[in-house]
Amino acid sequence: MQKISPDFLSKHKIDLNNLQFFTAPGCDACSHLGFKGRIGIYELMEMNKELEQLVLKNEASNYVVEEIAVKNGMITMVQDGLLKALQGITSVEEIFRVVE
């Protein structure tokens, strides 16, 4: 896993008391869509022995695999999306529209 450089961290620290999300109401310029362009949100799962065994045995349900992956620090699509929403790249509504 990559570590954020301390220089960057001090400049871009997320102020938990002052979280800002953005909405996309739209305007004439974007035909009231409110969005322009597309981005991806990603699930980041680091493989480890425990998960490897589960996947190889092919016995565990997706739910169990995900639960163990989250316990091991997996970033879910919702989490990745919310991080992007905090950066003003997209809206919270859009995240929950695309993630089920």
Q: Give the residues lining the site for Zn ion (CB under 5 A).
A: 26-27, 29-30
Q: How far is the CB of 86 from Zn ion (least distance, A)?
A: 21
Closest CA to 69 of 89, 53, 88, 85: 53
Closest CA to 95 of 67, 29, 85: 85
What is the three-class DSSP state of 75?
strand
Q: How far is the CB of 40 from Zn ion (least distance, A)?
A: 22
The smaller minimum CB distance to Zn ion, of residues 33 and 64, is found at: 33
The smaller minimum CB distance to Zn ion, of residues 16 and 29, is found at: 29
